[in-house]
Amino acid sequence: MDISSFSDELLAGQRLMIGFDGTRLDQDLRFMIDNLKIGGIVLFSRNLVDPAQIRQLTQDIQAYAEKCSLPPLIVSIDQEGGVVARLKPPFTQFPGNPHMKNASDAVGFAETTATELAGIGVNMDLAPVMDVAFEKNQSVMADRAFGHDPERVSHLGKIVIEALQQRNIMAVAKHFPGIGRTELDSHMDLPDLDIDPDLLMKTDIVPFQTAISGDVAGIMLSHIMYPKLDNKWPASLSGAIAKDLLRNRLGYQGVVMTDDLDMGAIDKHFGFETAVDQILAADIDIVMICHRSPKMETAHERILSDIKRSHENRQRTIRSVLRIMHLKERYL
């Protein structure tokens, strides 16, 4: 992919995945596409009315991006089935990962979901959950995970990944390096998981290694502290976890993204500009901001300033944008 013609503003914007208000292409969404040059959007229930409306919305968004001479947008959604499913009837309702009995259930979920997402112009499912919900604690992921056995999670998760991607829907494995042992919800505050790295590698990380072997399009980082891996930053801001562990040790060369930076784990403990700076330093590709706020403009400005600060920083963003554009070329 030749991105030599990309302006610095476009390079910065491609690293943003944003949420928005409303159910149509309005003036504010046009601003974010044209001025911030965003690389992707994430849809929530507040954006969705019915299949025809969603299809029109995504078509209008892509048409406007093309009119602005921008690359097509990644259009993502959380459609895990069960308790996390943004699409309501008439879309197919699945009971969720804990209720999958076998490979046939996993294939059925992924094939149907991929067909329905493609039909409304969504090209990325922020799924599957690859966390292992261990039995010894009240896991925050108990009602979202495939189960408590790393091998079962690996097996069913890989089936979902491959079935989605065979039907041209990008899959995202989450939440690296695993949040199944936590009881505190990172939407509310910052969990601390003081686990031995060797145990983590033998258990929690196993499904993510399987996802990598399945060529998963994206991996989402958790908003969790792992003090034996990094005693200063949560995974979503950590170079030790995103760069040293995920990229260098595990060899993952795909797109890495944060979870929503509006969540309490980040919002209550870290300054937003500091968080963005850490994301850039950690070789994390996509900054996700799910609620409309001035943070989006701030993030774009911060990435742009980083690009202009040095040749090395610019090359770092170019590497991230190349990974993002590789996905867009392959799937869009």
* Residue tagged active-site, from 78, 259, 285, 306: 259
In DSSP notation, 93-127 reads P---GGG--SHHHHHHHHHHHHHHHHHTT--EE--
Q: Which residues, 6+ apart, have CB-to-CB distance to 177 below 8 Å?
A: 200, 204, 205, 208, 222, 226, 229, 235, 241, 245, 246
Per-residue pLDDT at 178:
96
187 is catalytic: yes
- Which amino acid would we find at residue 161? I
Note whether 288 and 261 are within 8 A (CB). Answer: yes
The 3-class secondary structure across 310-322, one letter per residue, is: CHHHHHHHHHHHH
Note whether 73 and 39 are within 8 A (CB). Answer: yes
- Rounded to 5 degrees, φ, ψ at 36 are -85, -15
Q: CA–CA distance from 59 to each of 24, 66, 122, 289, 291 (Å)?
A: 10, 11, 10, 22, 22
311 is catalytic: no
Reported as a single tens digit per residue, the pLDDT across 178-196 is 999 987 666 766 778 899 9
Could you tell me the pLDDT band of residue 37, with boundaries at 50, 70 and 90?
A: very high
Reported as a single tens digit per residue, the pLDDT across 262-284 is 987 788 889 999 999 999 999 99
d(CA 110, CA 317): 32
The architecture that CATH gives domain 14-331 is: Alpha-Beta Barrel (3.20)
* Residue tagged active-site, from 148, 187, 291, 326: 187
Domain spans of the chain? Answer: 14-331
d(CA 238, CA 44): 27
- Which amino acid would we find at residue 277? D
d(CA 250, CA 328): 23
- pTM, rounded to two decimals: 0.96
Per-residue pLDDT at 190:
78
Q: CA–CA distance from 86 to each of 21, 54, 194, 329 (Å)?
A: 15, 12, 33, 26
